[in-house]
């Protein structure tokens, strides 16, 4: 494959630690606790996640003190004593948060929709001479975590080879075009325009459209929703060493019949430019707004929070990031970069 590296010209980027770039721009990894990093690393360092299943899961060690004293009766019956339940819920939240960070940071493992996992406990009697009573105190400790990714849909793993081939071919084409430009703006524009040219929006609910199989494979018509657009943009930014993150939240969507704007779940990208500021890129909206045989829309390309969109709304009121992916297990929200007030101006 042809590869080029984007030159990082400012001191800010020269000082970025190499750990930020391991496997792509790891923005969310550096917000994790030590235990969450252990869970994240177990997935990131696995040589073949495709072979990891709930029947053959990853075994992840537990750091810190995960111990509670409960009665033997409660432990034997499976009843959750508040102390042990608190330990379980706390660690389970860390498990979910770590894997959310991994899926936000990593677009190469696009086939992962989430993860299954269990938290395993051991116990021993506090007083070896007192083991016959249901009221005997026992020390319950967390032993380890087992976890496995689960795919977006049945059969997606069989499509990984075809997607990888399509991605490598597209990367070569992008590299060829980037060899003729010198600025990060132009390199990002090449990625942005290539995705708009390749994809069309999937207006009907379709699981492949939420990941890279829909946008990359002929069999799905190269159709995608915001998930797929943002993942593909992030993936190529990673491959060409451009700092970029995926952002989850809500955005205003036009209901064309009623002619009203409503909030809907959405994913887009934030990009860090050479001036040290972050900007929004929403390839989804630019693709929808690009009409056949017309110039590719850049209405949502490197925009700032105070910029106005075509509906007369500020970008800040259009996009609301939430800093969390999984809604079922509450956890500490991720912090997100402050976006520049004004859109990026090409030098």
The answer to whether the predicted template modeling score (pTM) of the entire model surpasses 0.75 is: yes
Q: What is the mean pLDDT of each successive set of 10 residues along the chain, which is 347 residues long?
A: 35 41 76 93 94 92 69 60 65 88 94 84 68 71 84 96 98 97 96 96 91 97 96 97 94 63 88 96 93 85 92 87 76 93 92
Determine phi and psi for 85, rounding to 5 degrees: -65, -40
Distance separating alpha carbons of residues 172 and 188, to the nearest angstrom: 15
Q: How far apart are CA 294 and CA 300, in angstroms?
A: 16
Which DSSP category does 50 fall into? G
pLDDT reported for residue 119: 75
Tokens of residue 289, six digits: 């707004």
Predicted pLDDT at 146: 87
Domains in the chain, ordered, with CATH? 32-151 (no CATH), 156-321 (3.10.620)
Strand partners, 260: 255
Q: CA 273 to CA 322: how far, in whole Å?
A: 22
The pLDDT assigned to 224 comes to 95
For the chain, first and last CA: distance in Å? Answer: 30
Beta carbons of 248 and 325 less than 8 angstroms apart: yes
pLDDT of residue 132: 67
Question: For position 264, what pLDDT does the model report?
Answer: 85
**Interstrand relation of 137-151 and 223-224 (parallel, antiparallel or unpaired):** unpaired
Question: Are 136 and 125 spatial neighbours (Cβ–Cβ below 8 Å)?
Answer: yes
pLDDT of res. 73? 65
Q: Token pair 């990673």 is at which residue? A: 238
The pLDDT assigned to 315 comes to 92
- Contact indicator for 87, 66 with CB cutoff of 8 Å: yes
d(CA 98, CA 145): 13
Q: How far is CA 155 from CA 88, 160, 163, in A?
A: 33, 10, 13
Q: Which helix (H) or strand (E) holds 272?
A: strand 260-272
Nearest to 52 by CA among 2, 112, 141: 112
């Amino acid at each position: 494959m042809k590869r080029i590296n984007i030159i990082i010209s400012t001191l800010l980027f020269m000082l970025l630690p190499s750990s930020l770039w391991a496997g792509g721009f790891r923005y969310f990894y550096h917000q994790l606790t030590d235990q969450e990093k252990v869970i994240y690393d177990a997935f990131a360092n696995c040589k073949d996640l495709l072979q990891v299943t709930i029947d053959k899961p990853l075994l992840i060690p537990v750091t810190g003190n995960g111990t509670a004293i409960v009665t033997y009766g409660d432990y034997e019956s499976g009843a959750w004593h508040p102390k042990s339940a608190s330990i379980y819920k706390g660690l389970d939240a860390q498990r979910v948060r770590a894997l959310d960070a991994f899926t936000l940071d990593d677009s190469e493992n696009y086939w992962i929709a989430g993860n299954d996992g269990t938290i395993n406990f051991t116990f021993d009697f506090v007083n070896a001479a007192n083991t016959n009573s249901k009221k005997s105190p026992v020390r319950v400790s967390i032993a380890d975590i087992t976890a496995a990714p689960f795919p977006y849909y049945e059969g997606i793993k069989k499509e990984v080879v075809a997607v990888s081939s399509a991605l490598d071919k597209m990367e070569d084409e992008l590299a060829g075009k980037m060899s003729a430009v010198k600025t990060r703006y132009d390199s990002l524009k090449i990625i942005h325009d290539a995705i708009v040219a390749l994809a069309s929006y999937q207006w009907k609910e379709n699981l492949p459209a939420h990941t890279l199989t829909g946008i990359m494979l002929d069999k799905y018509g190269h159709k995608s929703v915001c998930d797929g657009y943002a993942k593909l943009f992030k993936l190529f930014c990673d491959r060409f060493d451009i700092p970029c993150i995926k952002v989850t939240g809500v955005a205003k969507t036009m209901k064309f019949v009623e002619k009203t704007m409503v909030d809907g779940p959405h994913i887009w990208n934030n990009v860090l430019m050479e001036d040290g500021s972050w900007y929004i890129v929403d390839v989804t909206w630019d693709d929808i707004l690009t009409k056949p045989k017309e110039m590719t829309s850049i209405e949502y390309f490197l925009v700032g929070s105070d910029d106005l969109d075509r509906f007369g709304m500020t970008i800040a009121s259009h996009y609301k990031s939430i800093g969390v992916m999984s809604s079922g297990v509450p956890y500490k929200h991720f912090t997100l970069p402050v976006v520049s007030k004004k859109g990026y101006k090409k030098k």
